[in-house]
Chains A and B, each alone.
Chain A
Amino acid sequence: MSGLTSTGPATNPVPVGEAQNVSKSFGETKALVDVSLDVKAGECHALVGRNGAGKSTLVALFTGLNRPDTGAIRLAGEPAPAPADRGAWLARVACVYQRSMVVPPLTVAENVFLNRPVGDSRSFVNWRRLRAEAHELMLEWGFDLDVDREASTLTVEQRQIVEIARALSTGARFLILDEPTAALEKAAVDRLFDRVRRLREGGVGVLYISHHLEEIYEICQRVSVLRDGELVLAGSVSDVSQGALIAAMVGSAPPRRATEIEATRKTAGLGDVALELKQLNVVSRTGSVYDLDLAVRAGECVGLVGLQGSGSATVGDAVAGLVKTRSGSITARGVIGYVPQDRHQRGFAPQLGVDENLTHGVLARISSRLGIVSVRRRTDIARREVQRLHIVARSLDQPVASLSGGNQQKVVVGRALAAEPSVLVAINPTVGVDVASKEALLDAIAEARDRGVAVLLVSDDFEDLRVCTRLLVMVRGRVTTRFDRPPWDRQRLIGAVEALEVAV
Chain B
Amino acid sequence: MTVEQAVERKAASPAPAASRDFRLVVLNWFRELTLVPVIVVLMIAGAVVNPVFFTPSNLINVAEGGAALGMVVVAESLILLTGKFDISLQGTFGLAPLLGAWLIAPKASEGLGTEWNPWLGLVVVLAVGLAVGTFNGLLVIKANFNAFIFTLAMSILLTGLQLGWLGGQTVYNLPEAFIYLGAESWFGIPVSVWVTIASFAVAALFLRYHRIGRAMYAIGGNLEAARAAGIQVDRVRIGVFMVASVLAAVGGLMQAGRVTAVTAGQGSNLIFGVFAAAVIGGISLEGGRGRMVGALTGVILLSLVTNILTLSNISSTWIDAVDGAIILIALGLAKLIGTERA
Residue ranges of A at the interface with B (Cβ–Cβ < 8 Å):
86-87, 90, 99-106, 110, 114-117, 122-125, 127-128, 131-132, 135-136, 139-140, 142-149, 155, 157-158, 161, 187, 191, 194-195
- Smallest distance from the beta carbon of B29 to chain A beta carbons, Å? 14
- A139 and B222: CB pair below 8 A? no
Complex CA–CA separation, A86 to B215 (angstroms): 16
Contacts known (A142-B12, A155-B2); A131 close to B288, Cβ less than 8 A = no
| Among B18-26, B88-96, B121-129, B305-313, the stretch in contact with A | B18-26
- A132 and B18: CB pair below 8 A? yes
B14 on the interface (CB 8 Å rule)?
yes
- B222 and A124: CB pair below 8 A? no
- B20 and A131: CB pair below 8 A? yes
B2, B15, B226: the one within 8 Å of A114 (CB): B226
B3, B226, B230: the one within 8 Å of A146 (CB): B3
- B14 and A139: CB pair below 8 A? yes
Complex CA–CA separation, A80 to B246 (angstroms): 42
Residue ranges of B at the interface with A (Cβ–Cβ < 8 Å):
1-10, 12, 14-15, 17-18, 20-21, 24, 208-212, 214-215, 217-218, 220-222, 224-226, 228-231, 284, 288-289
Can you list 9 pairs linking A and B with CB atoms under 8 Å apart?
A90-B229, A100-B222, A106-B221, A117-B211, A124-B209, A125-B210, A131-B18, A139-B10, A143-B8
- A106 and B218: CB pair below 8 A? yes
Contacts known (A144-B3, A157-B2); A103 close to B218, Cβ less than 8 A = yes
B211, B215, B226: the one within 8 Å of A122 (CB): B211
Contacts known (A103-B222, A123-B210); A115 close to B215, Cβ less than 8 A = yes
Complex CA–CA separation, A157 to B217 (angstroms): 23
Complex CA–CA separation, A90 to B225 (angstroms): 12
B4, B17, B284: the one within 8 Å of A191 (CB): B4
A123, A157, A191: the one within 8 Å of B211 (CB): A123
B10, B209, B224, B230: the one within 8 Å of A125 (CB): B209
Contacts known (A158-B4, A191-B6); A106 close to B217, Cβ less than 8 A = yes
Complex CA–CA separation, A101 to B224 (angstroms): 7
Residue of B nearest to A155 (CB): B2
- Smallest distance from the beta carbon of B128 to chain A beta carbons, Å? 29
- A142 and B9: CB pair below 8 A? yes
Complex CA–CA separation, A132 to B289 (angstroms): 24
Residue of B nearest to A104 (CB): B221
7 closest residue pairs by CB, A with B: A135-B17, A103-B221, A86-B230, A101-B225, A115-B229, A114-B229, A103-B222
- Smallest distance from the beta carbon of A126 to chain B beta carbons, Å? 8
User: CB-CB < 8 A to A105: which residues of B?
Assistant: 217, 220-221, 284, 288-289
Complex CA–CA separation, A103 to B214 (angstroms): 11
- A103 and B288: CB pair below 8 A? yes
- Smallest distance from the beta carbon of B42 to chain A beta carbons, Å? 29
Complex CA–CA separation, A123 to B289 (angstroms): 21
User: CB-CB < 8 A to A157: which residues of B?
Assistant: 2, 4
Complex CA–CA separation, A145 to B4 (angstroms): 6
- B8 and A144: CB pair below 8 A? yes
Complex CA–CA separation, A124 to B226 (angstroms): 18
User: CB-CB < 8 A to A90: which residues of B?
Assistant: 229-230
A124, A132, A142: the one within 8 Å of B10 (CB): A142
User: CB-CB < 8 A to A117: which residues of B?
Assistant: 211
User: CB-CB < 8 A to A143: which residues of B?
Assistant: 8
- B211 and A115: CB pair below 8 A? yes
- A144 and B12: CB pair below 8 A? yes
User: CB-CB < 8 A to B9: which residues of A?
Assistant: 142
- B18 and A102: CB pair below 8 A? no
Residue of A nearest to B4 (CB): A144
Contacts known (A128-B18, A145-B3); A110 close to B214, Cβ less than 8 A = yes
User: CB-CB < 8 A to A132: which residues of B?
Assistant: 17-18
